[in-house]
Amino acid sequence: MQQFVSYKNIEIAYTVSGEGNALVLLHGFLETSTMWNAYVEAFSKTHKVITIDLLGHGKTGCIGYIHTMEEMASAVFAVLKELRLRKIHLAGHSMGGYVALAFAEMYPDYVKALCLINSTARADSAERKVNRDRAINAVKYNHTQFIRIAITNLFRPKNRKIFAKTINRVKKEALTISLQGIVAALEGMKIREDREVLLHFSPYKKMMIIGKHDPILDVDELLDQTKNSDVMVDILPDGHMSHIENKEELMYALELFLKN
């Protein structure tokens, strides 16, 4: 059941399930905390699992035209304060990974372990920033069409038919996200800082889970970020939506992440 905490005149929606060491799961762009339902069911048997609707997504409100990754991380911290949590395993998918990195930089003493799922520690390239601006224009022009195309493009082409029903459900969920929430997230991702240094010099356990055929992120570039570091790397066989395309493999990878 979703609960709410007040933050800057809005409500942040979150869920808490199970008991034990805390695992905080952060969803990506155009997603909500419901993406983690199967993972909550699995991991709440051994851990206290917290899922959070990030700013402008799900049942959490918007606070402005730009939702920076730092602002989203502050909202995550508000939930942890409400729950009186001090040390967490933190895992984020895609944009959720950017938020997790911002959180780890801002509140390092709270992080026991950090996992990036289909995400990158690097800032947007100049080309990527141009593409964000194109996406902002596209979503303002036709919000529904943008979501339908954007969600489909996250999957490995061969999986688009295999997971057709699930993809439609994901699109339906994404269509509940307001235009303001989508634009604010795109603006925030566009200006996010490079945090690759955290992969190399932070003291806690780190893991990067990569989709071998991720249509959004380049595998070689992701592997380059982990060179000469103690980051655990797990390469899954499919696309950007590992929690759907490679559910069992991701479950196993997260089990390894949670092991001491």
Q: What is the pLDDT of residues 191-210, one digit of tens each?
A: 999 999 999 999 999 999 99
- List Cα–Cα distances, 122 to 101, 125, 169, 230, in angstroms: 10, 8, 30, 17
Residue 104 has which token pair?
A: 């780890």
The pLDDT > 90 percentage for the chain reads 98
pTM over 0.85: yes
pLDDT at 253 over 80: yes
pLDDT of residue 205: 97
pLDDT of residue 146: 96
What is the average pLDDT across 18-46?
Answer: 98
pLDDT of residue 52: 98
- The domain locations on the chain are 3-258
Residues contacting 226, CB < 8 A, separation 6+: 199, 208, 233
What is the average pLDDT across 58-85?
Answer: 97
Confidence of residue 1 (pLDDT cuts 50, 70, 90): confident
Judging by DSSP bridges, how do beta strands 48-52 and 10-17 pair with one another? Answer: antiparallel
What is the distance between the alpha carbons of residues 149 and 151, in angstroms, rounded to a whole number? 6
pLDDT at 260 over 80: no
Q: Bigger pLDDT: 82 or 259?
A: 82
Query: What interhelical angle do 69-83 and 179-190 show, nearest 10?
Result: 110
Q: Please give the CATH number for the structural domain made up of 3-258.
A: 3.40.50.1820
What are the tens digits of pLDDT across the range 109-167?
999 999 999 999 999 999 999 999 999 999 999 999 999 999 999 999 999 999 999 99
pLDDT of residue 257: 96
pLDDT of residue 179: 96
